[in-house]
A and B are shown apart, each in its own frame.
Chain A
Amino acid sequence: AQSVSQHNHHVILSEAASLELGCNYSYGGTVNLFWYVQYPGQHLQLLLKYFSGDPLVKGIKGFEAEFIKSKFSFNLRKPSVQWSDTAEYFCAVSPSGTYKYIFGTGTRLKVLA
């Protein structure tokens, strides 16, 4: 069955620390990849997405993610986090040509000021 794994459920960092959140998926075909973020009290919104081309994708607010096809991974990174990055982050996969999205369980990030 298709699935998405996010290895870190809770992450606590100090401001200016570097961030990397892991995401692995299981699906044999071509996929589109996403990271969504949910700030406290707000709705889910797209952080970045990958469809094809350069496997290093840049998103909003200084976030980037790298698609490594051989590892079925799409890890999210940010070199220096801010207190305002405190949120829950969801990795999602959508098999190409479908409307189905498979979400990971999310990672709660808390950034200490």
Chain B
Amino acid sequence: SAVISQKPSRDICQRGTSLTIQCQVDSQVTMMFWYRQQPGQSLTLIATANQGSEATYESGFVIDKFPISRPNLTFSTLTVSNMSPEDSSIYLCSVEPTGAGELFFGEGSRLTVL
């Protein structure tokens, strides 16, 4: 299993600013995933973060908008840049420990952009 902590749990931000979300895992994992959950919609994968390499982004998401860091095997950050109200969402950090066969999630970071 894995226990994941995310910070902040929620924030209210002004349009045009940037916010960095932190994700800490209690064990070493190869891949970490960042999801977005917009109101009334399903979880959408933003990118996959591997330690020591650039993140892999899904269609519709770009590094300039969602830069990701993965400095070690237990930590990652996601930045939401130049925010607009459309970025208001819950952002979720997730991992699949080797052999687990399932995803573990953090509590999520609820972001509101005014």
B105 touches A99 (CB 8 A): no
Our count of residue pairs bridging A and B at CB distance below 8 angstroms stands at 41
Pick from B4, B41, B106, B108: contact of A105, CB below 8 A.
B41
Interface string of B34-47 (1 = CB under 8 A from A): 00000011111100
- Knowing A99-B31, A99-B48, A99-B96, the reply to whether A43 touches B42 (Cβ < 8 A) is no
State the CA gap A109–B69 with chains docked (Å): 36
Q: A4-B42, A44-B92 are in contact. Are A101 and B107 (CB under 8 A)?
A: no
B62 within 8 A of A: no
How many chain B residues sit at the interface, stated as a range, is 10 to 19
Q: How far is the CA of A71 from the CA of B32 in the complex (A)?
A: 32
Pick the 8 closest A-B CB pairs, nearest first: A44-B105, A103-B43, A103-B42, A105-B42, A43-B107, A43-B105, A46-B102, A104-B42
Q: List residues of A (24-47) whose CB comes within 8 Å of B's CBs.
A: 32, 34, 36, 42-46
Whether A100 pairs with B45 at a CB distance below 8 angstroms is: yes
Q: Which of A36, A46, A49 has most B Cβ within 10 Å? A: A46
| Residue in B45, B103, B105 whose Cβ sees the most chain A Cβ within 10 Å | B103
Bound-state CA distance A49–B104 (Å) is 13
Distance from A37 Cβ to chain B, minimum over Cβ atoms (Å): 11
Q: Does B52 contact A (CB under 8 A)?
A: no
